[in-house]
Structure formats: C-alpha cells, structure tokens
A and B are shown apart, each in its own frame.
Chain A
Amino acid sequence: MNGTIQAPTIEYALLAPMLVVFGAAIVGVLVEAFAPRYLRSAIHVPLTLLSLAGAFALTIWQAAAKGIPTKAAAMGAVAVDGPALFIWGTILVLAFVSVLLIKGEDHFVAAASAVPGSAEEEQALHEGAAHSEIYPLVLFAVGGMLLFPAANDLLVAFVALEVMSLPLYLLCGLARRRRLLSQEAAVKYFLLGAFSSAFFLYGTALLYGYAGSIDLAKISTAVGSVGGQDTLLYIGAAMLGVGLLFKIGAAPFQAWKPDVYQGAPTPITALMASGTLVAAFGALVRVFWVGLGGLDWDWRPVLYGVAILTMVVGAVLAITQTDIKRMLAYSSIAHGGFLLVGVIATGKAAAQNASALSGILFYLVAYGFTTVGAFAVVTMVRDAGGEAWHLSRWAGLGKRSPLLAGIFAFFLLAFAGIPLTSGFFGKYAVFQAAVSGGALPLVIVGVVASAVAAFFYVRVIVLMFFSDPAADGPSIVLPSRGTAAVVGLAVLATVVLGVYPQPVLDLAHSAAQSLFVR
C-alpha cells in the first residue's frame, strides 16, 4: 500500500445489460428534471422500451457470441453465469411486456400527493396530470431484479433486494382507482418488506459471523470446514431463508401477496408477479444451492415443509376469493410452491441438479408469460369505477366477449397445467426432476394441489361461459396497441411453450448445464 488505491477490475461487457438498464433509469431521472412536461412521456416510453430491448440484445449476444463466463465478475460481486443470463433474458422480456402494459392505459394516479377524494384530486384528474416518474422507477426496479439473481455475495444480494423492492413499494401505491386500497397495499408491502429485509440482513450478519465472509462460495467452503458454530449457521441460514421466501410469497410468509397484488396498479402487479418472482427465485436457488449447498441435508426437509404448506395454502385459499386479482395472487403463491418443489430436487449428481434447475427456469418463463397475459386481460374488463374486480362481474363474460373470455380461460388452463399449455410442461419438468430426486411424496402433494387449483380455475371458466351476464355487466375496453400486443404475445408464448417447448427447454437445459459459478 503506497497511498494509492488499486483500481478494481470491472467486466463492463458482462455487466452491460444491467448497466444499460440503470443508465437508462438515470437518464430518465434527468429527463424528469430537464425535459418539458409535455415531452416527457414521449421520451420516457421509447427510452424505457429501447433500453430493455437493448439489454436483452446484449444478454443474448453475451450468451451466444461470447460464451458463458466461468468466474464471477466485478471483483466477485456478480456471477453472470448460465442461469443468470437465462434469468436476465426472461426478466427483460417480461419487463418489456409489462412496460407495454403500463403505457397502455391510464392505470396510474394523477397526483399521488392529493388526498383520495379531495378537490385537489379532482383538479389533477381534470387537468390530466400524470406521474411520468413511473418509467425511471420501473427501470430501477428492473435493474434490481437483474442484480438480485446474479448476486454472488450476500451483501450485493441485500442491496439488490432493496433496489428491486423500493421502487415497487412506491409503484404499488399509485393506482388510479381504489386509491385507498392501493395506498394501504403500498404501506403494507413496505412495512412487511422492510421487516423481511431485516431478517435477511440479520441472517447475513450471522452467516458472516459463522464463515468470516459473505461470499457465497466462501460460505459454502466454511460449511464443510468450520465446526462447532452450528447455532450461528442454522439461525443465519434460516433468517436468510425467511427474507428470500418472503419475496417469493411462500407460506407462512405469503400474507402480503394478495393484499399487495390487489391494491397495486394492475400493470405493476403483472411486473411483480412475473419479474420479481423470477428474480427472487433466481436468488433463492443461488443462495441455497451455492452458498448453502453443502447443507442440503438440513434445508431440504425445511423447504419440503414450506413447499407443501405453500402449495396447499395457495390452492385452497384461492378457492374462496371474490376478487380476480386476489385469486391470481393466491394462484401465484401456489405456483411459488410448485417451483419450490424444483428447488428441493437437488442430488449428488450434477446432472440431477442441472435437470432440476432447467425445470425451474422453464417453469419461470412459462408462468411469467401466462401471468402477465392474465393480468393484461384483467386490465381490459372495466366497470364504471375501473377494473371489474369482483368475480361476479365476470359472469357471462363468455357471451359478451367470447374472444377475451376464451383467452382468459386459456390462461387459466395454463395455470392449471392442462396439457398443450405451457403450464403443463413447466409442472412436468419440475415434478419430473423432483421424482428423480427422490421427492415423490412432495410431487404427489403437488399434483393434488394442482388438482384443487384446477377446480377453481375451471370454476372461473364455468362462471364466464355458463352464467348469464349481468344486465349492467362490465364493458370490455378496446385494448390499446400495447395491451393487445401483450395479450397476443402471452397467448403465443403459452401456446408455443405448450405445443413445441423443445427450443426453450433446450435453452434452459444448456443454461442450467454449467450450473452456477462459484
């Protein structure tokens, strides 16, 4: 040390997708600051979409042209490996689609600071005010989503978790209609998110105490070599688990999900249900497989129980929901449980792990698209007061708008995992990995839970097609081009992944083949 600090080595090319997204977000902030108001949306939308598309292109280019790196980047902070690249691609596409949805209609509040129902709000609505800050905020969240699953040490993971969550807390509170519900959702999400983050941080601290490092690879080594401090290890790992399981909405940490999904503006719900879930699963798998990989005899039974509870809670509670978004939220919880089945399916052989991982990756893609599509349909069924959220309002939709109801029914069938939809292969891939990993009982629970879930999906379909529409039933808004594109894309993805899933399966397989870098 002679008074100078050695410059760090940063692999900018590897990090390019993430940097593009963050950079675009900062440009977005500058646009907010300097561009005239009437121009802002016109700049933001292309900027956001282009940056996401560019980041996606860079991801593809990295994977296709430059090969998958074998060691962690940015001083060991970020692991841009096969699974991370796959997850990045997935998140970027889903975020792109969600942004199309955001731009589609007026989902967001005119003036967030106006008290709901006040004269100020009236005025803001009347003047057509709008928050164009939404776009940079979404980009910040997406940047966090990219960093989270690639984080190679727990501190980076924590920071990424916060970068991902903070903008989402805020965006949840910006719904244009049912504002009180939306604000309540935001506050709940924020408080509970902070609570769970504290668990995550505390777990990190304890693991640091145990291993003397927060690097996942070093923790993994320490698990094999350090003895006599199991208390720290167990509590630390469990607390870390709480933080991660909270984000994916696993039971018993699922309580926030229905409230938040219900209150948030629907495009943001779509982003959370797809992007956040993908990112959180990426991080969960990385932490448990890489960092705590040597401990799998200990965490597998624990996650076993969590997975069962999650599947059952999600599937059973969904049945009694009256709000379409709450129902989808519970369905998302149940799907989180199905994905956990894949997380448990580890084994001694690398091939087993690779097949479990590729199953998870495929499932994430399949579920992400279907769920974005389903929420996009939700935005199109409108009442006088906004989206027709109550299920009874959906009665007879099949008679008023057969195409839309048919599409929604198709998405529901995909959620249920009916063959010839993407959901079937997702479940199949995950369950098959679990069976060969020796978790047959769990798979049986999973199949039973999917059957229960199928019951309520079918119930909605029956409601749409076999009930008489209410006289003053909701109207179907003509979708904007963006929304129509989202629905179209989601249908396409659900069909293609259900009928000809091989290319994506291959892709997931080759991404999973190298497993995580350490």
Chain B
Amino acid sequence: MTLQAPGFWPPTGPEIVFLLLGVVALGSALLVVTTRQLVHAALWLVVCFGALAGGYLVLTAEFVAWVQVLIYVGAVVVLLLFGIMLTRAPIGRSADLDSGNRWAAALVALATAAVLVTVVVSGFRTAYAPLDPGQGAAKPLGSSIFRTWVLPFEALSVLLLAALVGAIVLSRTDIQGRK
C-alpha cells in the first residue's frame, strides 16, 4: 500500500462500470424491500446479486464473481423461490407485506450503513491497491486454499460433516430401540 494512488478524475473505464453496477445493486436492493409482490422481490434479488458479481469481476476477482453467481443467484435465490412456492405464498400483489416497524427498520439500516461507510472510509481513505488481472482467478485461489489454508479448509469440511450429522439427529424419525 505504498504505491502512490492516482487521482479520481478523470475516471477510468473500470471505475465508471463499477459505479454503474453499484447504482444497479443499490436500486435493485431498494426494489427488493419495496415491491409488493413476493416473487418479484426474489427476482430483484437476482439482479442485485448479479450486479455484485459484476462488481467483483471489475475488481478482477473472477472466481468470487462466479461463485457469487452460482451460489447466490443459482442456489440461494432458487431456494427462496422454492420456499415461496412451497409455503403457498400468494402470487401477485399482497397488501400485508409491509410491517409497522418499517421506519424503525429503515433507521437501523441507515445507521448500519453509516457505520460501515464511516469505518471503510476512515480505514481505507488512503489505501490503494492496483488491480492485477488474473489475481482472482481460480488457480491462484485454489493454490492458496490448498497450500496456506489447507488446514482451515479441512476443518471446515469437518464442520459441515458435524452439521450434517446434527441435522440428521434432529430430524430423523425412524429411530428404533435397542431392544
């Protein structure tokens, strides 16, 4: 972080794209919480996540970007949609999506955002890291995971195994007695 940071003006191409993607992400996020249709909310979430993935791409973190698309857009949102369908939520506009607490919630969200922005700005105001294409590709990441981070990686797999066993313990009903 000792490199001299170039000025903000004139903005470079990637910077403009990044800003636009940010606007898309923010706008779609707002729509997620304001739309009156539950299914639309889930779909706007796809847009929001997609914009984030685009942001990662611009920052040369391509692997993370694809993970974002695969897991969040592909899996999480689909899970949400399934959830909506399985719980037989109404398709179409529903009047009772709003809560009386929305102003309080908005306030908390704003405050949280303010804290985050303050911390990030005060922490990284002077920091500068040049973008280096290829740094975020699958290969360097993989090599780092299986070299430096191999132990936590394996421990994570153990964690998932434990979670699976736990889920089975809590849910299986076909337990028979020893007798």
Contacts and interface: CB of A to CB of B under 8 A. Distances in A.
Interface of A: 1, 5-8, 10, 15, 22, 25-26, 29, 32, 37-38, 41, 74-78, 110-114, 120, 124, 126-131, 133, 136-137, 140-141, 143-144, 147, 155-156, 159-160, 162-163, 166-167, 169-170, 173-174, 206, 209-210, 212, 228-229, 231-232, 235
Interface in B127-160: 139, 142-143, 146-152, 155-156, 158-159
Contact of B155 (A112, A141, A159, A170): A159
A8 B146 contact: yes
A231 B146 contact: no
A156 B155 contact: yes
Contacts, number: 133
A113 B143 CA distance: 42
A112 B151 contact: no
A244 B143 CA distance: 31
A131 B169 CA distance: 7
B119 interface: yes
Interface of chain B: mostly helix, strand, loop or mixed? helix
B86 interface: no
Interface string B73-101: 00000000000000000000000000000
Contacts of A174: 169
Contact of A133 (B147, B156, B169, B179): B169
B7 interface: no
A156 B169 contact: no
A232 B1 CA distance: 16
Which DSSP category, helix, strand, loop or mixed, fits chain A's interface?
helix
19 contacts: A1-B143, A5-B142, A10-B150, A15-B151, A78-B151, A113-B171, A113-B172, A131-B169, A131-B175, A136-B165, A137-B162, A144-B155, A159-B155, A163-B159, A209-B124, A210-B123, A228-B126, A232-B119, A232-B123
Contacts of A206: 119, 123
B11 interface: no
A124 B177 contact: yes
Contacts of A130: 175, 177-178
A218 B178 CA distance: 54
Contacts of B166: 137, 166-167, 169-170
A170 B170 contact: yes
Contacts of A159: 152, 155-156, 159
Contacts of B163: 166
A22 B156 CA distance: 12
B16 interface: no
Contact of B177 (A32, A127, A144, A166): A127
Given A76-B148, A166-B162, A235-B119, A129 B177 contact: yes
Q: Give the most central of B148, B162, B179: most A CB within 10 Å.
A: B162
A119 B173 CA distance: 13
Contacts of B67: none
Contacts of A22: 158
Contacts of B104: none
A162 B123 contact: no
B78 to A, nearest CB: 24
B111 to A, nearest CB: 15
A127 B172 contact: no
B142 to A, nearest CB: 7
A382 to B, nearest CB: 22
A413 B172 CA distance: 44
Nearest to A152: B151
Contact of A5 (B123, B143, B177): B143
